[in-house]
Amino acid sequence: MTNVENSIIIVDEVVMNKIYIVRGQKVMLDRDLAELYQIETKYLKRQVKRNIERFPDDFMIELTKEEGDSLRCQFGTLKRGEHIKYLPYAFTEQGVAMLSSVLSSSKAIQVNIQIIRIFTRIRQMLMDNTEIRLAIEKLEKKTDNNTKNIEVVFQYMDELTDKKEISKPRKKIGYKLPKK
């Protein structure tokens, strides 16, 4: 088979829609990853448990019952025949990368490469947004300073106009010419 036939095509939006924020981290759930790898969730979990030393707390977290229920409420009802017997695992970007070493199939490796690229793209978009936000804040500060300067100029102009209106007619000085 050629590389084109062997490659797996997953639409980026499908993967992006499976990335959630849990405990302030971008994660993917075990069942979503299993679906992308086209394996059963229990097989993925079994491989993770056999290699648990590869998955420290910053690579994978087991969701609490409340978090699992919250996610279940967001997804609506479960698919027919599907039940949550065990709490789901949530994998961070590093955890997803580690899965490729635990799951030995070439499909898992290809899917992981695509997922990591998407995580990288998301991170880049967030950095770009941060840079734009900082630039806007910098412009706002400059604008605020300019606005304050303009206000000061207008205050001085008002004071000068007020002085002109208040000023008394001055007595003329100099030589007086006789009237003819």
User: For 97-123, how does the pLDDT look when each residue is reduced to its tens digit (9 = 90+)?
Assistant: 888 788 877 777 788 888 888 888 888
- Average pLDDT of the chain, as a whole number: 78
The answer to the question of residue 143 being in a domain is: no
Can you tell me whether residue 89 is helix, strand or coil?
strand
Q: How confident is the model at residue 91 (pLDDT cuts 50, 70, 90)?
A: very high
Q: Which domain holds residue 52?
A: 8-132
The answer to the question of residue 148 being in a domain is: no
The answer to the question of residue 140 being in a domain is: no
The answer to the question of residue 62 being in a domain is: yes
Distance CA 77, CA 7 (A): 33
The answer to the question of residue 41 being in a domain is: yes
Which residue blocks in 40-105 are alpha helix, DSSP H?
41-50, 65-75, 93-102
- In contact, 20 and 29? CB cutoff 8 Å: yes
pTM of the model: 0.58
- In contact, 89 and 62? CB cutoff 8 Å: yes
Distance CA 130, CA 112 (A): 27
The answer to the question of residue 1 being in a domain is: no
The answer to the question of residue 168 being in a domain is: no
- Closest by Cα among 43, 42, 47, 55 to 85: 42
The structural domain count of the chain equals 1
- For residue 8, pLDDT over 60 is answered with no
- For residue 4, pLDDT over 60 is answered with no
Can you tell me whether residue 145 is helix, strand or coil?
helix
The answer to the question of residue 115 being in a domain is: yes
